[in-house]
Amino acid sequence: GYDVLTAIDQFDQAGVDRSKVVLGAPAYTRAWGDVSDGGSFGYQQPGRGASATGSFEAGVYDYKDIVDDVVTGKRDLYWDDNNKAAFVYDGDEWSSMETAATIAGKAAYIEEKDLGGMMFWALSNDAEGELSLVQAADDLLRKGASYSEVVNKAPDFDYIVGGNGEFSITDFTNLV
C-alpha cells in the first residue's frame, strides 16, 4: 500500500532532503453510510459514500463537525491499534478521522525523521481551541509542548480495538 512510511522511504531513496518534506493531514473526513456493525464497529464493512450526510457534500465531513459529534456523544470515537488509525461509528455511518492525539503522534514522527513540518487541508475545516488539529501540531512542533499535554486535551477514545488496548506515541514511531 501507499502510506506515509512508504512515501518517506521513497523520498529517501530519491535523495530528497528530509527538511523539504512536509507531512500532510486532512482536516476533513471521508464517510460511508448504510454501514452495518459486522462485529467490528463497521470496520471493513460495505457502505455507500453518497448515503453519508456530510458537512458540505455527501460523504465528506469537516473535522470540526465530526469532532463536535464525538464531544457531544453523537458518535463513538475508536482507536484501531492494529492499523494505527482513528475512526468514528454511530451504527450507520463510518468515517476515518484525525484527532489532536493522532496529530501528536504524527508530530513526534516528524521530529524523529527530521521532516520539514506539517500541513493541513483545509484550514477552514479545523476545530478551534484545544480540539484544533493545527493547534496540536503547533504546540508540539513549535511551542515545545509534551506529547501527553496535547493528547490529554484530545477527546478520549471510547473504544480501543486491537493491539495492546492502549494509545501511545510508539504507535507512530515504530510502525513496520
Share of the chain above pLDDT 90, in %: 70
User: pLDDT: is 83 or 1 the higher one?
Assistant: 83
Domains of the chain, each with CATH number or no CATH:
18-173 (3.10.50.10)
Number of residues that this document lists for the chain: 176
C-beta separation of 137 from 131 below 8 A? no
Give the separation between CA 70 and CA 51, rounded to whole angstroms. Answer: 20
133-152 pLDDT per residue, tens: 999 999 999 999 988 899 99
CB 154: neighbour CB atoms within 10 A?
Answer: 23
pLDDT confidence band for 83 (50 / 70 / 90): confident
For the segment 69-75, the average pLDDT, to the nearest whole number, is 96
For the segment 20-37, the average pLDDT, to the nearest whole number, is 96
For the segment 100-118, the average pLDDT, to the nearest whole number, is 92
Q: What is the pTM of this model?
A: 0.90
